[in-house]
Amino acid sequence: MQIMQTPFHLDKRIILVTGASSGIGRQVAISASKMGARLVLHGRNQEKLQETLGMLEGDNHQLISSNLLTEEGRNALVAQAPAIDGLVHCAGVVHPYPIRFLDQKKIDETLNINFEAPVLMTGALVKNKKISKNASLVFLSSISGQHPHKGGAMYGSSKAALETFVKVVALELYPQGIRCNCLSPGMVQTPMYEQAEKDMSKEEMDKHVSRYPLGPGLPEDVANAAIFFLSDASRWITGVNLTLDGGFLLEG
C-alpha cells in the first residue's frame, strides 16, 4: 500500500485501540490502518473484534480480548501488547440515572470502567515499559465532562476525572517525549447513541439533536481528530482536551 507522506501519517506505528469492537474505537482502528498504522485491537467481544480486523487495511494487526474491569484482564492486555507508539482509549459506558436512583453499584458500574480502568491500565503499561519514547496517548472523554446534563452525574464525573488524569500523565511522561491528550465529542452516531435513542422519548431526542448546528457527529469525525493527535502533526500539543461538537456548545 502506498502511504501518503504527510505529517498526519502513521506509517509502521503500533497503535493500541481499546473499545475497538464497536463505534468510535472501531472507526479509529480503520482510519489509523488507512494511514499506515499497525493496530492492536482490544475489547471483550472476540467476534466483533474479528469483524473490525476484517475492515482494516494492511496486515500484521493483533487482536487482544480481555475485560479491563479486572486485574487479570488488564494484565493480559499489558502482557500481550507490544511496545506501542500510540493509544486511543475508547472503552467506556454511559448509564444515565437521576441522582435519587444512584447507589454504590450504579456508581461503580460507570466509574470502574470509565475512570479506574484507564488509570490502572495506563499505570501498568508504563510500569511494564510498553509505551515507546515519543508515543502519543489519546483518551476519549465527552463534552459531558465539562458541560453536565441531567442524569449524567456519574458519566460526566467519570470523564471530568479522566481529563484531570490525562493532564497528570502528560506532566509525568513528557521527559520521554510522550504526549497525552483528550478528545471530548458531543453526540456521535454509534451503538452508544442508539442506546440514548432508546432511553429518551422521540421528542426529547429530536430536541437534543436540533441543538447540534452541524448535526450529530460521525465516528469518522472523531477518528480524524484521533489521527491528528497520534501523528507528528500534533507533536507540540500535550495535556489538552479538544471539543468536537458540531457547534453544540455555541448555543450555550
Ligand X SMILES: NC(=O)c1ccc[n+]([C@@H]2O[C@H](COP(=O)([O-])OP(=O)(O)OC[C@H]3O[C@@H](n4cnc5c(N)ncnc54)[C@H](OP(=O)(O)O)[C@@H]3O)[C@@H](O)[C@H]2O)c1
Chain residues that interact with ligand X, rule: CB under 6 A = 19, 21-25, 43-45, 48, 67-69, 90-94, 113, 140, 142, 185, 187-188, 190-193
Least gap, CB of 175 to ligand X (angstroms) = 28
Strands 38-43 and 62-65, bridge-based pairing: parallel
3 vs 63 by CB, closer to ligand X: 63
100 vs 202 by CB, closer to ligand X: 202
Integer Cα distance of 203 and 76 in angstroms: 44
Least gap, CB of 160 to ligand X (angstroms) = 12
Integer Cα distance of 25 and 23 in angstroms: 6
Residue closest to ligand X when measured from CB atoms: 23
Least gap, CB of 69 to ligand X (angstroms) = 4
Least gap, CB of 44 to ligand X (angstroms) = 3
Least gap, CB of 88 to ligand X (angstroms) = 10
Dihedral over Cα of 139, 31, 15, 74: its sign: positive
Least gap, CB of 47 to ligand X (angstroms) = 9
Rounded alpha-carbon distances, angstroms, from residue 38 to 15, 85, 86, 107, 223: 6, 10, 10, 36, 15
93 vs 237 by CB, closer to ligand X: 93
Integer Cα distance of 226 and 10 in angstroms: 11
Residue 39 DSSP SS3: strand
184 vs 231 by CB, closer to ligand X: 184
158 vs 231 by CB, closer to ligand X: 158
3 vs 107 by CB, closer to ligand X: 107
Q: Which residues contact 24 (CB under 8 A, 6 or more apart)?
A: 90, 140, 185, 188, 190, 219, 222, 223
According to DSSP, the residues that pair with 244 across neighbouring strands are 185
Closest CA to 168 of 235, 90, 240, 239: 239
Closest CA to 216 of 246, 194, 251: 246
52 vs 136 by CB, closer to ligand X: 52
Integer Cα distance of 199 and 55 in angstroms: 30
Least gap, CB of 24 to ligand X (angstroms) = 4
